[in-house]
Chains A and B, each alone.
Chain A
Amino acid sequence: MSGLEKVLMKGNDAMAEGAIRGGCDAYFGYPITPQSEMLEYMARRLPALGKVFVQAESEIAGISMVYGAAAVGARAMTSSSGPGISLMQETISTLAAAELPAVIVNVMRAGPGVGGILPAQADYFQATRGGGHGDHHSLVLAPWSVQEAMDLTSLAFDLADKYRNPCMVLADGLLGQAMEPVVLEDREVAAPAKDWILTGAAQGERKVITTLRLDPEELEALNRRLEAKYAGLTPQEVRYSTHLVDDAEYLLVGYGTCGRVARSAVDELRAAGFRVGLMRPISLFPFPYEPIRALASQLRAVLVVEMSAGQLLQDVELAVQNRAPVHLVNRLGGIVPGADEIVLKLRELIQ
């Protein structure tokens, strides 16, 4: 596949292909519904390209292999769903502390616990608040189409290397399974020089990658450096899209699959004469607080659409800062809200 080609692809496959086009050197993963196709795609494609593929014995082993590979300069990744991402948290925290790049794809399913295999967005807090112990964050990107899923997975490798930090692609089971046409473009991969990696040097030139810092002042210094790194992501890595917000009195906010559904709701409501717009975050960390805040004063109400129990809601409330009332319409358990439910809810609010 090369040049400019349009093909029908499943979301999971597209993200894997996006990773390969983004310069992925190694994939270490474990099967879990609804993303096992990504593992299988990598098993088929990577060895033929002379890249590394290992099916690890667990998600913990997989992310540990990513940690080792990153330490020697590889563009390494793993993918999983919520339960597996939960297992990986100790190492995700450690990747951030060691300032190592890694790409982690979470194709969200409904929880908590073993839950179900249908789509959800309830790993939002886990993804955007760091997820593991200690003060740390991953950059988080949330695609809403198979095309965007592919493109953002490619981008994730660039961001991970640029910031020497884990970068997460947060998709959901619907996106992972859906098939949509995608344009396959050849991409120029420009991985930066990495003078901080382990190379096998000894004595005077050797390096140690460790996150143990028993001295509190040393550890605070590391934490402050990470704090500054994360603060510095705004504004350049803030990504979002809007639909019909300029004259909007009501704003829908939703990402990923909920962004898609909300967009349909906007169009339906506009057709019925309501001035509604959509704000769709694409970067969940850093979150587009400012763009939402800037819209808030013109609004009569904000309606958050999510497949979780008020997680995105909190960030929207933080953004809006009481300039307008913020409401929630949500489905849980693996159910995707329909545009009609959103339309109904907003019409109720307007009354």
Chain B
Amino acid sequence: MTPADHPAVLTKDKTHYCPGCSHGIVERLVAEVIEELDLCSRTIGVAPIGCSILIYDHLLVDFISALHGRAPAVATGIKRMRPDLFVFTYQGDGDIAAIGTAELVHAALRGENITIVFVNNTVYGMTGGQMAPTTLPGQLTTSSPTGRDSAVAGFAVRVAELVSSQDGPAYVARTTVADPKGVMRTKRAIEKAFRAQLLGLGFSLVEVLGACPTGLGLTPVDACAWVRDSMIPHYPLGEFRVHERLAGAALGA
């Protein structure tokens, strides 16, 4: 299947996302992988609070909306009752790394057989561009108007490293959709993460570095450049945990 084919589980309607928002790319990749792995009729998605709260209008599979940060726990409740279904969450910075950190870490620690797609764009988009736990030191946001001062506002959290340092995860990777190669690697990572669940290997997470042009106050093209130039040095790309049964090449190509 080429990117030229419109995935059947992806809406043909316009989305509410800002121009250039990385959510549009990531959701499409998730839709493509759901189709390619023949999961259309056995998937339940768990939606976050954040810009992607309306993901259930874009991805046309069964969905439940979770409260802020609770998606991994909601997914746990679903997967424990229906281990035969494919269960994934789609979450942003606040959901994963602020209010939901306990749920994230404990789902990983339990080796919960769910998959998390985490879009890291360093800001809280929906509420107007405030600082996130993933905001870089010195970065300007609406709640760090003079730049994030680590002395009082702390440091940026590396979720992929945090989670992969524990036993439980079967697959953890960090990729980016800020350039075409990154988009291809992100798709392969998502596919590997999905396979980890399908093989019953345990917890899987893909952290995708993306652009929030509105939150960053940049054009989409410049926002993608910022992701590559400023985010990647702090958030190195790669696979941090790969279960031995996940056959196949590394993401790079």
> Which residues from B are CB-within-8-Å of A209?
63-65
Instruction: Known contacts A61-B73, A64-B73; decide if A52 and B80 are in contact (CB<8 Å).
Output: yes
* Residue B41, interface by CB 8 Å: yes
CB within 8 A of A69: which of B46, B66, B81, B106? B81
B251 on interface, CB distance cutoff 8 Å: no
Map CB proximity to B onto A44-82 as digits: 1 under 8 Å, 0 otherwise. 000000001010111011101111111111101000000
Which listed segment binds B: A119-127, A196-204, A287-295, A310-318?
A196-204
When distances are taken between beta carbons in the complex, the residues of chain A under 8 Å from B65 are: 208-212
| A57-B103 contact given A67-B74, A68-B46, A200-B62, CB 8 Å threshold | yes
Q: Is the CB of B62 within 8 A of A65?
A: no
* CB contact between B43 and one of A66, A200, A212 (< 8 Å): that residue: A200
Contacting residues, chain A, for B85 (C-beta < 8 A): 72, 199-200
Q: Are B64 and A68 in contact (CB under 8 A)?
A: yes
Question: Are B9 and A203 in contact, with the CB atoms below 8 A?
Answer: yes
B56 located at the interface, meaning its Cβ lies under 8 Å from any Cβ of chain A in the complex: yes
Any A CB within 8 A of the CB of B234? no
Tell me how far the C-beta of B85 lies from the nearest C-beta in chain A, rounded to whole angstroms.
5
Q: How far is the CA of A322 from the CA of B105 in the complex (A)?
A: 55
Chain B residues near A68 (CB, 8 Å)? 46, 64, 66, 73-78, 81
- With A and B bound together, what is the CA distance between A65 and B102 in angstroms? 14
A208 and B61 alpha carbons, distance in the complex (Å): 8
Kindly report which residue of chain A lies nearest to residue B68, judged by CB atoms: A90
Asked if A69 and B78 sit within 8 Å, CB to CB, the answer is yes
| A91, A206, A212 — most chain B CB neighbours (10 Å) | A206
Residues of B within 8 A of A70 (CB): 77
B211 on interface, CB distance cutoff 8 Å: no
Digitize B92-136: 1 where CB-to-A-CB distance is under 8 Å, 0 elsewhere.
Answer: 000000000011011000100000000000000000000000000
Q: Is B216 an interface residue (CB 8 A)?
A: no
Q: Are B102 and A57 in touch, CB under 8 angstroms?
A: yes
Query: Is A26 interfacial (CB 8 A cutoff)?
Result: yes
Whether B44 pairs with A72 at a CB distance below 8 angstroms is yes
In angstroms, how far is the closest chain B Cβ from the Cβ of A41? Answer: 19
How long is the Cα–Cα vector from A68 to B79 in the complex, in angstroms? 9
- B47 touches A (CB below 8 Å): yes
CB contact under 8 A between A198 and B47, given known A61-B106, A64-B103, A203-B8: no
- A232-256 CB mask vs B (1 if < 8 Å, else 0) is 0000000000000000000000000
- For residue A94, CB closer than 8 A to chain B, the reply is yes
The interface residues of chain B lying within 8 Å CB-to-CB of A72 are 44, 77-78, 81-82, 85
List chain A residues, Cβ under 8 A from B25. none
- Residue of chain B at shortest CB distance from A73: B81
Question: Are B80 and A64 touching (Cβ within 8 A)?
Answer: no
Which residues of chain B have C-beta atoms less than 8 A from A25's C-beta?
Answer: 81
Q: Is the CB of B80 within 8 A of A212?
A: no
Verify if B53 is at the interface (C-beta below 8 Å from A).
yes
Given A52-B80, A198-B44, A202-B43, also A64-B67 (CB < 8 A): yes
16 A-B pairs besides A28-B77, A57-B103, A208-B63 with CB distance below 8 A are: A54-B76, A60-B103, A64-B67, A65-B74, A67-B74, A68-B64, A72-B77, A72-B81, A73-B81, A76-B77, A76-B81, A90-B67, A198-B64, A202-B9, A203-B61, A206-B61
Q: List 23 A-B contacts (CB under 8 A).
A: A25-B81, A52-B80, A60-B70, A64-B74, A65-B76, A67-B66, A68-B75, A68-B76, A68-B77, A68-B78, A69-B77, A70-B77, A72-B82, A74-B77, A76-B77, A91-B70, A198-B63, A200-B61, A200-B62, A201-B61, A206-B63, A208-B62, A208-B65
